[in-house]
Amino acid sequence: MVTLAEVARHAGVSASTVSYVLSGKRSISAATRERVEQSIRELGYHPNAGARALASSRSNIIALMMPLRTDMYVPVMMEIALAVATTARAHDHDVLLLTGEEGPEAVRRVVGSGLADAMILMDVELDDARLPLLRDTGRPAVLIGIPADPSGLTCVDLDFTATGALCVEHLAELGHRDIAVVGEAAAVYERHTGFAERTRDGLRARAAELGVRLLHRPCEGSYAAMAGTLARILDERPGTTGFVVQNEAAIDPLLSLLRQQGRAVPEDVSVVAICPDQVAVQASVRLTSVAIPAHEMGRRAVELVMARVRGERGDRLELLPPRLTVRASSGPAPAAR
Amino acid sequence: MVTLAEVARHAGVSASTVSYVLSGKRSISAATRERVEQSIRELGYHPNAGARALASSRSNIIALMMPLRTDMYVPVMMEIALAVATTARAHDHDVLLLTGEEGPEAVRRVVGSGLADAMILMDVELDDARLPLLRDTGRPAVLIGIPADPSGLTCVDLDFTATGALCVEHLAELGHRDIAVVGEAAAVYERHTGFAERTRDGLRARAAELGVRLLHRPCEGSYAAMAGTLARILDERPGTTGFVVQNEAAIDPLLSLLRQQGRAVPEDVSVVAICPDQVAVQASVRLTSVAIPAHEMGRRAVELVMARVRGERGDRLELLPPRLTVRASSGPAPAAR
DNA sequence: AAGGGTTGTCGAAGCGCTTCAACAAGTGGT
DNA sequence: ACCACTTGTTGAAGCGCTTCGACAACCCTT
């Protein structure tokens, strides 16, 4: 392994000079900088991460805590993770992947050992056990998702309340007066993951305002579950002409079932999905949808956490505004045509 | 931050004794150990990762290099990543998440900086640009997937050749004589990702041996693409009664299209999928499938890489045997009933 | 009772970097 | 021609840990 000392010798300068070239914390003459950079290249030098962390007490690592489950919104999680990783690199940081498995203890371990300078937590529940710990370590941290009490914390999330409202508005505008919502699996609500509850609240509030009837049903992501849920919805509200789907795994089953029952999309029923754009365009009908901006969420999380690492203070709650894209799955309600 | 020195003082021993208690590299009397452990607990001590890495030149970190794409086999990637993370923790290591974005340069950086003790590469292509680098860094590394020349490298993968063979065997046994294969997207073959080609070879070889007609078509994972591919397959081979699907995103579209055309599964056509079990049981018909043992792959990769970190040598190619689970999507060929 | 082994503990020397105080050399104002 | 700065460079002191060699203290042999 090439060391900084060897680079210094090769370039004919002192070790500190090389260090300052690397960090830019002192001005260095163009000539010297040039020479040092040349030596670095020739020798193929890479600063030793451990030594650097020890001396500077900054590891240049961000910890990303992911849920362990693989049954829910996988593509979203994955895209967030990749966005976090690439954005972190743009800020000269690396990403440490933690699973929920260790639980809150992982926070203590990572912070206590100085392994990571900052943390990003995904899949935050309303009353998350990791939050108290996080708050009193005082380490920079950003949540993706919003807990019941976000005070003293920085959070990023899609504005799910507005998302729900937007879906209802779109359908109401098209003349739909009976809307059914295919929600996330019941387990998601039981876990009190904020986004699901907020979406539901947004849907309900707007529906009430607009005088639209709304039926909200949780639903697992399997074909069989969707079949049951759909049957119960149509039984209870035969006049349903608009669907909002939040569980992305239920989208394909729903479309397939509607087709099977001879209900044409969008002629007979309209469907609005809440899902990543990629899912919306791959379905059998190109779906009108509100995008889950996974990439954007990951990117902003890193940017906010880096700002805190640089010393910026103050808690902050950043809600990304939802955008609805009209595609082929929504149209005027049959009665209104 | 509590340091080792403070623990030593608190326990009334020297720093080295504390270190040896922690590492177990020298014998320590039960009484001393007890006292030190007590102090560690009381003070809430966590060894500083940077200092430890510097002194021992081991970071206790494994780098995991993931593909950046989010269009392909996402659930599999995700499950592997989570398995890697949890297994690594069981070996007292953490996982650094790298994306393909930086390319081969990432290998150099991570190895050169001593950031990671070992690497696990996913989505390995037949002629992967990262391999030469990896070989001559001499760092422990394990590939998930198999390149054209695996010499000097340790690899883990599902035995896709056997997987292809197994699918054909199953269908042939049921009397199907005309089998169509819905492969991965054309891009996957163009990238020369080994598993797709190996599966195809396994399918073809076994089909030839068993005297079964086989038509292999790549296919994107969208409904529209699947519709086109299916039409062309049935046009070219109207007698097709057996399907093997490797692109998991094409599964739902295929089932949906078959239903639409009045072809019952498994009465008229049989479908065998190559996909994670979870996908197989969530489809509209519970699918006969060969499982992609993502968790197992991630776990073995870590175990193998840890063995190398401990100093074991010798290249090794570990192929996991495929297991086919019969579910509701395959049955006797119509002619054979 | 002396010699040879164990066993448990310690002191000190680094690991490779950052950063501080210090200083040499130039720059410009008076 | 001198002082006060600014600019560029350096030596040295650590950061918190691991690990090596040394050394008591004890056990067993003979």
Q: Do A66 and B82 touch (CB under 8 A)?
A: yes
Based on the fold, state whether residues A288 and A298 are members of the same structural domain: no
Q: Test B114 with A223 for CB contact under 8 angstroms.
A: no
- Sign of the CA dihedral with B34 first, then B36, B37, and B42 last: positive
A181-240 pLDDT, tens digit per residue, is 999 999 999 988 889 999 999 999 999 999 999 999 999 988 999 999 999 999 999 999
d(CA B179, CA B32): 70
Closest in A101, A114, A259 to B48, CB measured: A114
Say whether B89 and A102 touch across the interface (CB within 8 A).
Answer: yes
pLDDT over threshold 70, residue B36: yes
Asked if residue A54 is part of any domain, the answer here is no
Closest CA to A62 of A292, A303, A297: A303
Judgement on whether residues A136 and A169 belong to the same structural domain of the protein: no
| Stretch A140-147: mean pLDDT | 95
- Number of structural domains in chain B: 3
Are B10 and B44 contacting, i.e. CB atoms less than 8 angstroms apart? Answer: no
Q: Which domain CATH number covers A32?
A: 1.10.260.40
Question: Residue A26: which nucleotide is closest by CA–C1'?
Answer: D8
Please report, for the domain that includes residue A100, its CATH number: 3.40.50.2300
A34 and A17 Cβ atoms separated by less than 8 Å: no
Q: Is residue A53 part of a domain?
A: no
pLDDT at A193: 85
Residue nearest to nucleotide D6 (CA to C1'): A27
List pLDDT tens digits, range B284-296. 999 999 999 999 9
Produce one character per residue of B185-205: b if its CB has 16 or more CB atoms within 10 Å, e if not. beebeebebbbbbbbbebbbe
- Note whether residue A65 is domain-resident: yes
- State how far the Cα of B40 lies from the Cα of B7, in Å rounded to an integer: 6
pTM value?
0.93
| Residue B264 and residue B304 in one domain | no
Q: Give A16 CA → C21 C1' in Å.
A: 13
Q: Are residues B230 and B174 in the same domain?
A: yes
Q: How far apart are the first and last CA of chain B?
A: 74
Domain presence at residue A138: yes
Domain annotation covers residue B230: yes
Does residue A1 approach strand C to less than 7 Å at its CB?
yes
The domain in which residue B124 lies consists of 61-158+294-320
Least confident span in A107-116, A309-318, B233-242, B273-282: A309-318
Give per-residue pLDDT as tens, A286-311: 999 999 999 999 999 999 999 999 98
Residue B195's contacts (CB-CB under 8 Å, 6 or more residues apart) are B145, B146, B157, B158, B160
Q: Is residue B130 part of a domain?
A: yes
Token digits of residue A9: 């010798």
The rounded distance, in Å, linking the Cα atoms of A52 and A22 is 12
Whether A180 and A232 share a structural domain: yes
CA of A256 vs chain B CAs: smallest distance (Å): 6
Higher-confidence residue of B330 and B135: namely B330
Residue B115 confidence class, pLDDT cut points 50, 70, 90: very high
B56 part of a folded domain: no
B200 in the same domain as B118: no
pLDDT of res. B218: 96
- The share of chain A scoring above pLDDT 90, in percent, equals 84
Q: Does A283 lie in the same domain as A165?
A: yes
Do residues B18 and B67 share a domain? no
Residues B219 and B90 in one domain: no
Domain contains A179? yes
Q: What is the mean pLDDT of residues B287-315?
A: 94
Tell me what pLDDT residue A336 has. Answer: 52
C-alpha distances (whole Å) from A29 to each of A10, A20, A22, A109, A173 are 17, 11, 13, 42, 65
Which pLDDT value is given to residue A313? 84
Together in a domain, A177 and A314:
no
pLDDT, tens digit, 9 for 90 and up, residues A248-298:
999 999 999 999 899 999 999 999 999 999 889 989 999 999 999 999 999
Instruction: Find out whether B136 and B175 touch, Cβ atoms under 8 Å.
Output: no
Residues A242 and A196 in one domain: yes
Residues B93 and B39 occupy one common structural domain = no
